[in-house]
Amino acid sequence: MRRIALVAAALIGGALQASAQTSMAFLITPAELTAHDTLRPKYVWNVTNTYEAKQYGIEHVMFVGAPLTPEQRTAIGTNIDVILIPNNLDATISAIALPQVQSALEGLQIPAGWVTTSHTYRQVCTVVLKFFAFMNRFEVLHQRTFFEAGITLDTRINQLTQAQRDALTLTAQSMGLDISGITGPMLVRQALKLLGDQMPSTTVMGEVF
Amino acid sequence: MALPASDSFTQGGAGHGALSASWTTITGEGAPQVNQTADVVCLTSVGTDAGAYWNADSFNTDHYSQIDVVTAAAASVDFVSAAVRVQSGARQYYKGGCYGAIGGSVTYEIGKRNGATNSVLKSGSATINANDTLRLEVSGTTLTLKNITTAATIDTTTDVGGFTGGAPGIFLFVDSGTIEDSRLDNWVGDNLAAAGGAYAAQATMTMLGVQ
């Protein structure tokens, strides 16, 4: 497990935390509205000001990397709306953990039916971050959520309105993605996975996903 | 006009005046103004964010915006930043700068404004002193915040699927205090040089057939 020794203090509401052993933690947490109407990662921003966040479009969910102490990690992980990713990113997902992982992601409108016990947590995070990037682009272009009323991951492409299909197409094309494999009967979750598979890797706090 | 574009905000006078005609107020933001005594940019109204982008030149999608951080008086409520990929006619841009109180370790942020959504992409602590020059660069999907005065890269982040095009500019706010609590000066904006120059595509070079 990587450890980063902090010589400087992490601010908590003005109080200083003595030099603490931290390790890089990755989690999915709600984006919380803070002072100045700024969205920050819930539970993280008020224990450390050192983090990197990727937002799931306009869904107010963030994938976050932040150096946390074991105590901070445990405390944040107890929150029901947090998905705390195990320290060992390269461990495969156990049969016991698999439904929990899938349920947690699907609950946030993040497709997870493709996840199996042969995937590592890093591989899952990599794909999840590609979904994040796509929805990021959708929000930039259209200033609204993709998941308008009536649209779920199980909506078929041919059930979307023409305007919704056009918005999806425009988003994909603006990112140089090939939409030729998307068919009418295809589910939204399948289409997003097809598009996501074409996208490049990214980094969060220097970790490659 | 020719690049690099720059503005020292030197206007003369003893009051406050508007930025020159080379600046356009960012859609949805308030207009910054010039303190004509100090020849620096400050806010027009406390509690109203202020931002503007340079309209007198065209920029590549990869460019930078650079400012001198003159004043950021207090933590959490005073913020001074450079802005890049500011979109015309929309409240969309990236910003990179710091909160107060400058003159030691402060919180820096690389953030993103997308309409009603204002979010932090990367945050941390760095030492930034008064009149340090901060530069926010954007290349592809990578944003890099630098302290030019100390020759330090403060931090970097990516925003895949984010903005393209646009222009460099400035952004600042004061949530409580006075309009002079956040101030900047000596703005510069320019395109980023293409990586590698003319030889970037060549993995090897031969001379007289010898590798």
Per-residue pLDDT of B7-54, as tens digits, reads 999 998 899 999 999 999 999 999 999 999 999 999 999 999 999 999
Label residue A149 by pLDDT band (50, 70, 90).
Answer: confident
Q: What is the pTM of this model?
A: 0.90
Closest to B6 (Cα-Cα) out of B61, B65, B81 = B65
HSE-up of residue B152 (Cα within 13 Å, Cβ side): 11
A30 CA: distance to closest CA in chain B (Å): 12
Tokens at residue A78, please?
Answer: 């107890």
In 3D space, the residue among A142, A115, A153 whose CA is nearest the CA of residue A58 turns out to be A142
Identify residue A73 by its one-letter amino acid code.
R
Distance CA A122, CA A106 (A): 18
pLDDT at position B209, please?
42
Instruction: Decide if A39 and B121 are in contact by the 8 Å CB cutoff.
Output: no
pLDDT of A53 strictly over 70: yes
What residues in A contact B118, CB-CB < 8 Å?
Answer: 36-39
Kindly give the parts of chain B with pLDDT less than 70.
1, 194-211
Q: Closest residue of A to B76, CA-based?
A: A35
- pLDDT score for B203: 40
- B122/A52 Cβ within 8 A: yes
Establish if B125 touches chain A: CB-CB under 8 angstroms: yes
C-beta atoms of B121 and A200 within 8 A: no
pLDDT at B194: 66
Distance CA B25, CA B19 (A): 9
Q: Residue A124's pLDDT is what?
A: 97
Helix axes A121-142, A162-174, angle to 10 degrees: 110
Task: Give the distance from residue B210's alpha carbon to the nearest chain A alpha carbon, in angstroms.
Answer: 37
pLDDT score, position B145: 98
Amino acid letter, residue B42: C
CA-nearest residue to B93 within chain A is A140
B114 CB neighbours in chain A (<8 A) are: 139-140, 143
- Torsion angle of alpha carbons B139, B140, B141, B146, nearest 10°? -10
Residues 54..83 of B with a Cβ closer than 8 Å to A: which?
76-77, 79
- CB–CB contact A55 B160 (8 Å): no
Q: Is the pLDDT assigned to residue A69 strictly greater than 90?
A: yes
**DSSP codes, A22-81:** EEEEEEEEEEEEEGGGEEEETTTTTT-S-EEEEE-TTS-EEEEEEEE-HHHHHHHHTSTT
For residue B111, list chain A residues with Cβ-Cβ distance below 8 A.
38
Chain A contact present for B111, CB below 8 A: yes
Average pLDDT, chain A: 90
* CA–CA dist B126, B147 (Å, integer): 9
| CA–CA dist A94, A120 (Å, integer) | 9
Q: Which residues on chain A are in Cβ contact (under 8 Å) with B120?
A: 38-40, 45, 53
Q: Which one, of A45, A92, A35, A38, lies nearest residue A68 by Cα? A: A45
CB contact under 8 A, A134 and B161: yes
HSE on the CB side for B195, CA within 13 Å? 5
Other C-beta atoms closer than 10 Å to the C-beta of A71 total 10
Q: What is the DSSP letter of A90?
A: T
Q: Does A53 touch chain B (CB under 8 A)?
A: yes
Mean pLDDT of the region A180-190: 96
pLDDT of res. A51: 98
pLDDT digits (tens, 9 = 90+) for A22-45: 999 999 999 999 999 999 999 999
Residue B13 touches partner A, C-beta closer than 8 Å: no
Tokens matching residue B161: 């699927």
- Complex ipTM value: 0.89
Contact of B47 with chain A, judged by CB distance below 8 Å, is answered with no
The Cα–Cα gap between B33 and B35 comes to 7
Task: Please state whether the peptide bond connecting residue B4 to the residue before it is cis, i.e. omega within 30 degrees of 0.
Answer: yes
What mean pLDDT, rounded, does chain B reach?
A: 92
B131-167 burial string, b = 16+ CB within 10 Å, else e?
A: ebbbbbbbbebebbbbbeeeeeebbbbbbbbbbeebb
pLDDT tens-place string over residues A108-125: 999 999 999 999 999 999
Of the partner residues B76, B117, B122, the one whose CB lies closest to the CB of residue A35: B76
Q: What phi and psi values does residue B12 have, to the nearest 5 degrees? A: 75, 170
Min Cα–Cα distance to chain A from B179, Å = 16
pLDDT, one tens digit per residue, over A73-88 is 999 999 999 999 999 9
For β-strands A83-84 and A21-34, DSSP reports them as antiparallel
A40 contacts B119? CB cut-off 8 A: yes
